[in-house]
Amino acid sequence: MNRVGVVGGGQMGAGIAEVCARAGIDTIVCEADATAVRRARDRVTASLDKAVGRGRCTAEEARLAVARLTFTGELHDLADRDLVIEAIVENTEAKTELFAALDKIVENPAAVLATNTSSIPVMRLGMATERADRVVGLHFFNPVPVLPLVEVVASLHTSSDTAALVERFAASTLGKTVVRSPDRAGFVVNALLIPYILSAIRMTESGFATPADVDHGMELGCAHPMGPLRLADLIGLDTVASIAASLYEEFKEPLHAPPPLLQRMVEAGLLGRKTGRGFHVYEQDATANHPS
């Protein structure tokens, strides 16, 4: 897998593109329009600048990574890719349409189409293509350049060769730690994490505790590096709500149902760090994620 395409240059897509470029891979990032392309480029370069400033890579390594990156607004530029990773908005219809389009555009029949979805069944996306055996979940965690974990998710149609190939790519090429998950809503991590976050939201919604007290309690009392509400803000409250809805649709467990407060905040556009306000208030970053 020497040529990788990433569709979506938001917080996750930009991070995926960065780790691929830093691993020596020719990487194309595809976004919806010229404005989104510019934001994606700015997001990656800002992240690389931070990595240099914090000693995680050298200035020369960052320069070489930028040289390996191409940004485009045309899906057809991904025609020669060996692997295309989808990292667009967490919406089943949008992802399904994209996979159907990529299936026709990516020329190599052995190329792998991967999704970074947090909750949508991989099989549903694979069935939109003529190569369901080459469709797999490749779920990274935010921030991608820092967090070492990747979930590899094989659907009932994904071939064992495809799953093994993607696992080797994530582990050997990108240097990530891989856990395998069955193709069910939430996979491994979010199936554990989201009910915890929703419980914290319900505690706040009921007036039992403030967001600050909830987060301080888990950070200082349980040694968590980040409290559940700050973590929800980092993930994006729209993404949390979407994952919760997928979990509830699949399992029908009350603990998975999105609380009314979460739904109202999403409707109000209070999505967390990327909008400057969620359960906490943040200084806006010019390279912050935009829905894409």
Omega before 145 within 30 of 0, i.e. cis: no
For tokens 């667009």, the residue is 88
Amino acid at 248: Y
Whether 151 is catalytic is: yes
Catalytic residue among 31, 47, 90, 118: 118
Catalytic residue among 86, 90, 151, 167: 151
Which of these is catalytic: 18, 116, 139, 181? 139
Tell me, yes or no, if 280 is annotated catalytic: no
Q: How far apart are CA 49 and CA 66, in angstroms?
A: 11
Locate the DSSP E strands across 20-134.
26-30, 69-72, 83-86, 112-115
Distance from C-alpha of 124 to C-alpha of 192, rounded to nearest angstrom? 22
Q: Catalytic one among 155, 190, 242, 292?
A: 190
What does the alpha-carbon distance between residue 132 and residue 127 come to, in Å, rounded to a whole number? Answer: 6
CA dist 87 and 240 (Å) reads: 16
Residue 139 bears catalytic tag: yes
How deeply is 208 buried, as exposed, middle or buried, from its count of CB atoms within 10 A (0-12, 13-18, 19+)?
A: exposed
Query: Which residues have a catalytic role annotated?
Result: 118, 139, 151, 190
